[in-house]
A and B are shown apart, each in its own frame.
Chain A
Amino acid sequence: MLHIVNKSPFTTTSLESCLRVSKPGATILLIEDGVYGALDGSRVSDAVRAALADRTVCVLGVDAAARGVEGKVLDGIDVVDYDGFVDLVAANDGVQSWL
């Protein structure tokens, strides 16, 4: 299952809910303002780091770069481009957007 989070964890609880509900083996993709969830050293970093134990977390590189987040991403988070985004959608049986 691919979970797409497009909201900042500092404005909504989408990421928090997604981390709570997503199952081991799932992939979480952070896009748009959701990329702030990939930041190291924030109040959600520990929860995201914990999820990396049994889930894959990716961030859309162009959106991270647009917000100055690139280079400050937690270790273990994969940076993908739109091609990678398409591959993630194709590789997962279902797609859930946390709008």
Chain B
Amino acid sequence: MKFGIMVNEGPYTHQASDSAYFFTKAALDKGHEIFRVFFYHDGVQNGTDFTTPPQDDRNVVKRWSELAQEHDLDLVLCVAAAQRRGLVDEDEQKRHGKDGHNVAPGFRISGLGQLIEAGIQADRLVVFGD
């Protein structure tokens, strides 16, 4: 079965990103397909490469990147939410004249259309947030 995942909350805030990660992992382990993981609102903070959590704590951002690499996942950050919160890729850095870019490996910035498409293409859309 094809699942779409939506994450509306940042890492280390409450539990939404952890729940979404463990659900995604369990679904993949059971042989399901993850059509896309869409990060919206504060959820875009899950895609910043500039985090350095303590070594004995889980690394939420890196965990998503590694899962994406392992399973060729499509991790999408909403562009409007990303711009508001300082999530910048190389294109956005050039376009807005920023000092750097911070979108973690495996993530990409795109629009809300990607969420709509996930809702249409996936058999189920599961929303995690606060």
Write the residues of chain A forming the contact surface with B, with a CB cutoff of 8 angstroms. Answer: 4, 6, 31-33, 63, 81-83, 85-87, 89-90, 94-95, 97, 99
Contact = CB atoms under 8 A, between A and B. Distances in A.
19 contacts: A4-B126, A32-B14, A32-B16, A32-B19, A63-B15, A82-B22, A82-B23, A82-B26, A83-B29, A85-B23, A86-B27, A86-B30, A89-B3, A89-B27, A89-B126, A90-B1, A94-B124, A95-B126, A99-B130
Contacts of A81: 26
Contacts of A89: 3, 23, 27, 124, 126
A94 B30 CA distance: 19
Contacts of B26: 81-83, 85-86
Contacts of B124: 89-90, 94-95
A6 B32 contact: no
A99 B123 CA distance: 21
B23 A99 contact: no
B129 interface: yes
Given A89-B3, A90-B32, A95 B125 contact: yes
Contact of B30 (A4, A31, A83): A83
A49 B3 CA distance: 31
B119 to A, nearest CB: 11
A63 B18 CA distance: 11
A99 B8 contact: yes
B118 to A, nearest CB: 13
A63 B22 CA distance: 12
Contacts of A33: 14-15
B127 interface: yes
Contacts of A99: 8, 127, 129-130
